[in-house]
Structure 1
Amino acid sequence: MTLACGLDFGTSNSTLGRVGATGQPQLVPLEAGQATIPSVLFFGFEDDQLYFGREAVAEYVTGADGRLMRSLKSVLGTALFGDTTRVKARRLGFGEIIGLFVGELKRRAEAELGAELTRAVVGRPVQFVDDDPAADRQAQDQLEAAVKAQGFAEIAFQFEPIAAALDYERQVSTERLALIVDLGGGTSDFSLVRVSPERAGRPDRSDDILSTAGVHIGGTDFDRLLSMAQVMPELGLGSKTRDGKRHLPVAPYYDLSTWHRINRLYDAQALRDLRSTMREAVEAERVETMMMLVEDRLGHRLIGAVEAAKIALSDSATTDLTFPVRDRQIHTEITAAQLGEALEASVAKLEETIAETLRRAGLGSDAVDSLILTGGSTLVPAVSTRLRALFPAAEVIRTDVLGSVGLGLALESRRIFGA
């Protein structure tokens, strides 16, 4: 027997959903009984093992020698997709690495379900790449090839916010006009959708999707912006050379703050460039700390600490970030107000994209009955407060921020494949 499923391969977390005998969608446990698994791989150099999800993060955090790969979805449709990553004596392309992760999800789900998965509805953002239809199409093709290589013979795609709408529709009793706000790790997507119990049974829902829009902004961008604003200055960003004629190069700080670019610093030329910068810098000790951090390959751990600080500011006005580097420490206090300032331009871009979504439908904000928030980045106060202010009369519904897309994709897999 072969089955169909919904596959939500996310920038930060992934899920796999399936509609069972009850007719209700469920997420398949993928790691230690949990339905979500971080979209992370760790290639262990000491034991030649490949780790996934929380196990991958644990191996990395304990200091095991190896290569951590995260935010892989962000490279789809970009020039980075053509790069390769050295894993000991091998060089792996990003398509192959994504395939390894998807293949592991498939194997775990099949073991749980006791049957082979051969058909999948795969979630995708409204835009993989902003304002570039050719690159967007290429991104979907790259993801489709990676998924198909793992044994999925039939693949369909559905927008992630539409999947979230399908999940939400199960709980409505009357017709609603919903704006689905899906703020994920790498992209932010918006869809205006009519939902109702009667519409849920229709085989074709295209008329119910009034408009969609998306922008390539997400949680990993928030991490980068917070890092550049509050953490990288502790390593010399914004300081000048000894002669006072110029500022230090920004590029290595940008790479160190960007999940999928950190590995670019881990080569001999990058270290030589950092040593040269240190010799020229008026704040040489700060740059030396950065050089030590890169030499010890602590970049992903540092941006993980930045992400943890961002999350902490969802519930607190201030948080301390303290990060050890050999006999030194990077330390800074970060406030929710500073996080808001760092994200100001990005939040404004989200608002512009929402306005475009409404414009495409020919509607005003007062027409929206329900504001459906999904995706982890909707928990950031600087974001959620602005979203609620845009739609003061709408009922705010917060879904399972990590699971609603996978559940909706499962429903779509039953509609398309019927199994």
Structure 2
Amino acid sequence: MAACGLDFGTSNTTLGRTRDGRPALVPLEGRHLTVPSAIFFAPGATPIIGRAATEAYVEGVPGRLMRSLKSVLGSGLVEETTPLGRERLRFRDVIARYLAAVKARAEQEAGTGFDTVVHGRPVHFVDGDPEGDRKAETTLREIAESIGFRTVSFQYEPIAAALDYEQSVRSEEIALIADIGGGTSDFSIVRLSPERHARAERADDILANDGVRIGGTDFDRMLSLGTVMPLLGLGSPMKRGDLAVPNAYFHDLATWSSINRLYNPKTLREIEETRRDAARPELIDRLYSVVEAERGHGLAIAVEGAKIGASDTGAATLDLDFVERGLGAAVDRGSLGAQTGSLAERIAERVGRCLAQAGIGAERIDALFLTGGSTGLPHVRAALTACVPGARVVAGDTFGSVGVGLTIEAARRDA
């Protein structure tokens, strides 16, 4: 049996182990070192995870897709149940099934069992709620123990990323670690050096930790509400002109973790009633068709793809042909920034708090180390670099740095 580092992320998951004295991520889906944090339940079949789960959903296989599982930790949702075929499962049990499948794949690939884990965790699972934060970690610990880990400990994700970055550091420096993932944005200010890297105890080197519950899925949600949901009726008037169509359906449909809430007969009846009183019933027809066919995740996938495309190339087309032939929207960096700029500002504000906590000015930061998929958003990166304009910007492994750092920490704790 061996120790591992497990980065269970909102969007992607990695698991690492020490091999020949070096941390190494274990392939979890074919040659891929990451596996998307998604699980698909088909009637009468074993659940499938990762890319295969999303592919099954896109191909129209009957069943239910669940993504962004981590986002329910720290909320009341984690103990709620959801219908999956003929059974109802608590969300915590869905997470357990997903992580059990990840653990089994890693053990098969590594040729050994894992009984000790250092779990990554955000600085705050829940903003401004210490009790909710404690409950989230306790839940994740209980899940880890339920799937066969006998020893479970935790490390902040930005600290783990710092341990990965420190492997390349050649002299002492103070680094701001920014981990902008799918569900949270986390920051650490850490003193690093080759000599310090060898120490088992690093508490004195950690100058500050802070975070905010904003991540890639929030950018998806804001982009969806601003660009897609108006095409389905959001903000449109009722026949009684002083009222707008109820917006709760659209917010659920734009939020990865809430989409499955809509898939029930009661919601469909309510949408039908709304259509009868809507001034533009043809828009509500689109909403009804998406919910009835359980294609909400298809919308979310399209929005996520447009967000990434606009970030990478400057512009993208949001193709909604599966909702209605010819339906779509254009997204470019300007519109992406307009729809989600407030989120980037809130992330940058948290950097300021982290600097204040450390008791140092921005000029003292030697390096800004970036990891997490949402650091690829140009306006997020610009907001971060503006906070520490004199720092050297270092791009880490977008999806692997935290997992590698957790593996380094696992080896230390298991020594």
Q: TM-score, normalised by structure 2?
A: 0.98
Which residue does the alignment assign to 2:381? 384
What residue in structure 2 maps to residue 159 of structure 1? 156
Contact 1:29/1:109, CA 8 A, preserved across alignment: yes
**1:289–1:325 CA contact under 8 A, matched in 2:** no
Matched, 1:6 2:11: no
Aligned to 1:69: 66
Q: Distance in 2 between matches of 1:150 and 1:353?
A: 35
Tell me which residue corresponds to 2:42.
44
Q: Which amino acid aligns with 2:47?
A: L
- Per-residue deviation, residues 27-64 of structure 1 (Å, max 9, x unmatched): 0011112110000000012x523111011011111000
The question of 1:286 aligning with 2:260 is answered no
Matches within 5 A, 1:26-45: 26-45=24-43
Which of 332, 335, 339 is the aligned partner of 1:342?
339
Tell me, yes or no, if the aligned pair for 2:371 and 2:397 is still in contact at 8 Å. yes
Distance of 1:10 and 1:200 partners within structure 2: 25
Answering whether residue 360 of structure 2 is matched by residue 367 of structure 1, we say: no
How far off is 1:326 after superposition? 5.7
Q: Give the distance between the partners of 2:94 and 2:124, measured in 1 at CA.
A: 22
Distance 1:12 1:160 in 2: 14
Q: When the two structures are aligned, how many residues end up with a matched partner?
A: 415
CA contact (8 A) 2:4 2:114 kept: yes
Superposition RMSD on alpha carbons, in Å? 1.0
Distance (Å, rounded) in 2 between the aligned partners of 1:326 and 1:265: 17
Structure 2 Cα separation of the partners of residues 242 and 214 of structure 1:
44
Q: Which amino acid aligns with 1:9?
A: F
Deviation at 1:327, TM superposition (A): 5.1
2:296 counterpart (299, 307, 317): 299
User: Paired residue for 2:107?
Assistant: 110
> Which residue in 2 is equivalent to 1:20?
19
Q: Which runs of 5+ in 1 are unaligned?
A: none
Q: C-alpha distance in 1, partners of 2:57/2:9?
A: 20
Secondary structure (helix, strand or coil) at the match of 1:301 reads helix
The 3-state SS of whatever aligns with 1:189 is strand
Once residues 204 and 67 of structure 1 are traced to their aligned partners in structure 2, the CA distance between those partners, rounded to angstroms, is 45
Indicate the SS of the match to 2:187. strand
- Equivalent residue in structure 1 for 2:235, among 230, 238, 249: 238
Aligned partner of 1:16: which letter? L
What is the alpha-carbon distance in structure 2 between the residues aligned to residue 119 and residue 167 of structure 1? 20
Residue 215 (structure 1) aligns with: 212
Distance in 2 between residues matched to 1:55 and 1:275, nearest whole Å: 34
Percent of aligned pairs sharing the same letter: 47
Q: Are positions 1:196 and 2:196 aligned together?
A: no
* Offset from partner CA, 1:192-217 (integer Å, 9 cap, x none): 00110000011100000000100000
CA distance in 2 between partners of 1:379 and 1:176 (Å): 24
Q: After superposition, where does 1:71-110 map in structure 2 within 5 Å?
A: 71-110=68-107
CA distance in 1, matches of 2:79, 2:343: 27
1:307-331: per-residue Cα shift (whole Å, max 9, x none)? 0000001122321111124654431
CA shift for structure 1 position 336: 1.1
Are the counterparts in 2 of residues 289 and 328 from structure 1 also a CA contact under 8 Å?
no
Q: What TM-score do you get using the length of structure 1 for normalisation?
A: 0.97
1:243-263 Cα offsets, whole Å, 9 max, x none, are 202111111000000001000
Q: Is the 8 A contact 2:3 2:117 kept in 1?
A: yes
3-state DSSP of counterpart to 1:271: helix
Residue 88 of structure 1 deviates from its aligned partner by 1.3
Corresponding residue to 1:273 among 246, 252, 270? 270
Tell me if structure 1 keeps the 8 A contact 2:145–2:152: yes
Unaligned runs of 5+ in 2: none
Once the two structures are superposed, what CA deviation does each residue of 1:260-301 show, in whole Å capped at 9, x if it has no partner? 100011001111111111111111101101101110110001
In structure 1, the partner of 2:319 is 322
**Partner amino acid for 1:385?**
A
CA separation in 2, counterparts of 1:93 and 1:82? 6
Contact 2:314 2:332 survives alignment (8 Å): yes
Contact 1:177 1:194 survives alignment (8 Å)? yes
State the Cα distance separating 1:334 from its structure 2 match.
1.5
- In structure 2, do the counterparts of structure 1 residues 377 and 329 end up closer, same or farther at CA, with 3 Å as the change threshold? same
1:228 lines up with 2:225 in the alignment:
yes
The code of the aligned residue for 1:401 comes to T
**Could you list the per-position Cα deviations for residues 198-237 of structure 1 after superposition, in whole angstroms to 9, with x for gaps in the alignment?**
0001110000000010000000000000000111111111
Tell me, in whole angstroms, the C-alpha distance in 1 between the residues paired with 2:384 and 2:215: 15
CA contact (8 A) 1:239 1:282 kept: yes
- Partner of 1:248, secondary structure, is coil
**Structure 1 Cα separation of the partners of residues 323 and 171 of structure 2:** 60
Instruction: Provide the secondary structure at the position in 2 that maps to 1:190.
Output: strand
For the 8 Å contact 2:81–2:89, the answer to whether it is kept is: yes
Change (3 A) 1:379 1:172: same
The whole-number CA distance in structure 1 between the counterparts of 2:323 and 2:204 is: 59
